[in-house]
Structure 1
Amino acid sequence: MRAVIQKSFGGPEVLEVAEIEKPALLSGEVLVRVHASSVNPVDIAVRSGAFPLLGEPPFGVGWDISGVVEEAGPGARYEIGEAVYGMPFFPRAATAYAEYVAAPSRQLARKPASLSHIEAAALPLAALTAWQGLVDKARIKAGDRVLIHRAAGGVGHLAVQIAKARGAYVIALASAAKHDYVLGLGADEVIDYRTTDFTEVVRDIDVVFDSVADGARSLRVLKPGGVLVTILEHVNPELAATVEAAGRRFAGISVEPDYAGLEAIAELADAGLLRPTIAAELPLEDAPKAHELVEGGQTVGKVVLTIG
């Protein structure tokens, strides 16, 4: 099968399409014929060596997939022909930029019926990050005031929609050029973080969703008992101690495969309450270009690789 691999750390140019062996199935696993895979910032960090999560190359990159079950091992949850999506194995290698991925069936869920494979592939890692932070950890509820950093980003634009679906009042941080977009996602207020210090204009927040490592400042806007959800400073004992000493709750998030979360996300999508924004669709061979787009930091939504 064709898959994108890298033999060294470096820039996007180290990504190459190679012929490798199709993965063999174990009990409880399914072989997915991948139709699309999306690119996440963690993919960039792993590829460059800034975050050597997978050790030394060579290895395959990527985690998000959407596709169709082609083979099913004994005890698997899905049958041949079912459309599924997920982010298997994270934080171990999944080699998701590939024509086939073998994965434990309980790390996948049925694809949202209302979404294409391209849209579904854009969801798993980003949407699960938002879901596990906002719902599982912070336990947001109707009426909560939620502040979301980088609200137009891959995780942020989904966090806005998930928070709104749970009945929260959402205050979003985004550049001025993206205000209309973020309001269209459902945000109640949008603040231009480039011209306004949010700590001077925001108060009494129940939950901060921090995806920019701004936990210390975010703590200032949390009310007593509020929750700081952080996805970049999840291993920061000093910050955690500071938050707890201030009478707030620290919730560090390192996303993990979760079929129950994926099923809940699919329900939101099929109810018309959650939809990913696709910034670009590129063929597998253009994986280096996809990484360039994500690394540039100017895209709105997700970049997706189309595979078959």
Structure 2
Amino acid sequence: MDLPKTMRAMVTMGHGDLDQMVWHENWPRPDPGPGEVLLRVRACGLNNTDVNTRSGWYSKTVESGTTGGALDAASEDATWGGAAVTFPRIQGADVCGEIVMVGEGVAASRVGERVITDNWLRDKNDPLNKSKTGYYGSERDGGFAEYTVLPAENVIAVNSDYTDAELATFSCSYSTAEGMLTRAKVAGDDTVLVPGASGGVGGAVVQLAKRRGARVIALASEAKHAEVSELGADVVLPRAPSNLKQLLQSESITVLADVVGGDNWPVWIDLLERDGRYTCSGAIAGPMVSFDLRTFYLRDLTFTGSTVIDPEVMPNLVRYIESKQIKPVLAATYDLKDLHEAQRAFIAKQHTGNIVVTP
């Protein structure tokens, strides 16, 4: 196949504001090495990791919620893993694409496969060791470009009539949600409270918790209640009602699945029943919270953080996609060259669901 030597790409030059993302018309196209494949990117989703890494929000020197703007962050711990990222870097992890070239050791028959990505870069000799993982679009170049290279095991063939943009909504949001629910051992006898249910991860939590048979109570801004209800939530309430405990007095909340944090966090924790579980994979409203240890230990609560997912999560999600057990929530599609505008919309939460860019 005759492929161009260069490609269009949005390249992040360092931590900071949106101006750190620079558009290039002739960026060198990568070649796959041994065990790798080259994808032609058809669509790439946008998620909080892209915004937080670019802005430096993950640094422990930052105590505010996600703003997407330049932050006074320490560069050495400003990424998800607490280590410095190398710039320039092509971000973007949620790729739907086509394999157009394979490296040594990869079957040539894989050329032409339509795939989505497993974004966790694992040590082949120690794949369950979370300390030896990296993230696609952070530790190596990602999908905000026309072409991208990944290890062959990180691209999963998908047989679906969803569009490329729809398929690009699944990799990050849904794997994050499934990881949270797995850590919390959510089952059919649970009632799950989901703050931020109109976001990409929140909407995925709603669907995947319902798939497990759980009862779901969603919190979202009132303008987005109809969309959240369509995802299957049993109850949809305002984002931060002053009388939430009273509204839920007839419910038994056994799991809190949170990517929001912020000032309302103590209220949500106080709703958990004895032996309840809290699972967290984000803090977009703010990472610093007020925590009463007595609530934690007197109610026998279990807290789990969830970042690195297990290897079986993405293959399972592909099966759910192919069998239509879960559906995409595509909010808007932008041209890749308009990634600045797309991130502004994402940060402002203008849409319900996921935003995708296409080269």
Question: Considering the TM-score relative to the shorter chain, is it more than 0.5?
Answer: yes
Identify the residue that residue 99 of structure 1 maps to in structure 2.
146
Greater helix proportion: 1
Number of equivalenced pairs: 304
2:9 is the counterpart of 1:3 = yes
Identify the residue that residue 173 of structure 2 maps to in structure 1.
126
Shift of 1:87: 4.5
- Cα distance in structure 2, aligned partners of 1:196 and 1:162: 28
Letter of the structure 2 residue corresponding to residue 217 of structure 1: V
Identify the residue that residue 296 of structure 1 maps to in structure 2.
348
2:77 is the counterpart of 1:25 = no
Letter of the structure 1 residue corresponding to residue 304 of structure 2: A
- Cα distance in structure 2, aligned partners of 1:39 and 1:163: 23
- Cα distance in structure 2, aligned partners of 1:11 and 1:93: 21
Cα distance change, pair 241–268 in 1 and its aligned pair in 2 (3 A): farther
Shift of 1:73: 2.7
- Cα distance in structure 1, aligned partners of 2:256 and 2:241: 20
Alignment partner of 1:178 out of 224, 235, 241: 224
Cα distance change, pair 240–285 in 1 and its aligned pair in 2 (3 A): farther
Higher-Rg member (1/2): 2
Identify the residue that residue 210 of structure 1 maps to in structure 2.
258
Counterpart secondary structure, 2:204: helix
- Cα distance in structure 2, aligned partners of 1:189 and 1:94: 40
Letter of the structure 2 residue corresponding to residue 165 of structure 1: R
Cα distance change, pair 10–25 in 1 and its aligned pair in 2 (3 A): same
Letter of the structure 1 residue corresponding to residue 98 of structure 2: V
Identify the residue that residue 71 of structure 1 maps to in structure 2.
101
Cα distance change, pair 76–251 in 1 and its aligned pair in 2 (3 A): farther
- Cα distance in structure 2, aligned partners of 1:112 and 1:262: 14
Question: Identity over the aligned pairs, expressed in percent?
Answer: 28
Post-superposition Cα deviations, 1:89-112, rounded to whole Å, max 9, x if no partner, equal: 415233220111111122222235
Runs of 4+ deviating beyond 6 Å = 235-238, 240-243
Alignment partner of 2:270 out of 198, 211, 220: 220
- Cα distance in structure 1, aligned partners of 2:341 and 2:141: 21
Which runs of 5 or more residues in structure 1 are unaligned?
none
Shift of 1:237: 12
- TM-score by length of structure 1 reads 0.89
- Cα distance in structure 1, aligned partners of 2:98 and 2:293: 45
Counterpart secondary structure, 1:285: helix
Matches within 5 A, 1:190-201: 190-201=236-247
Counterpart secondary structure, 1:186: coil
- Cα distance in structure 2, aligned partners of 1:102 and 1:198: 47
CA contact (8 A) 1:243 1:249 kept: no
Post-superposition Cα deviations, 1:219-278, rounded to whole Å, max 9, x if no partner, equal: 212222221011126x9999697675241111101144x552122212222222211221
Which runs of 5 or more residues in structure 2 are unaligned?
1-6, 59-77, 122-134
Shift of 1:159: 1.0
Most deviating of 90-99 and 238-247: 238-247
- Cα distance in structure 2, aligned partners of 1:27 and 1:243: 52
- Cα distance in structure 1, aligned partners of 2:102 and 2:144: 20
Identify the residue that residue 282 of structure 2 maps to in structure 1.
232
2:189 is the counterpart of 1:143 = yes
Shift of 1:205: 1.4
- Cα distance in structure 1, aligned partners of 2:335 and 2:207: 28
- Cα distance in structure 1, aligned partners of 2:105 and 2:193: 42
Most deviating of 63-72 and 216-225: 216-225
CA contact (8 A) 1:30 1:105 kept: yes
CA contact (8 A) 1:37 1:305 kept: yes
Identify the residue that residue 34 of structure 1 maps to in structure 2.
41
Shift of 1:62: 1.5
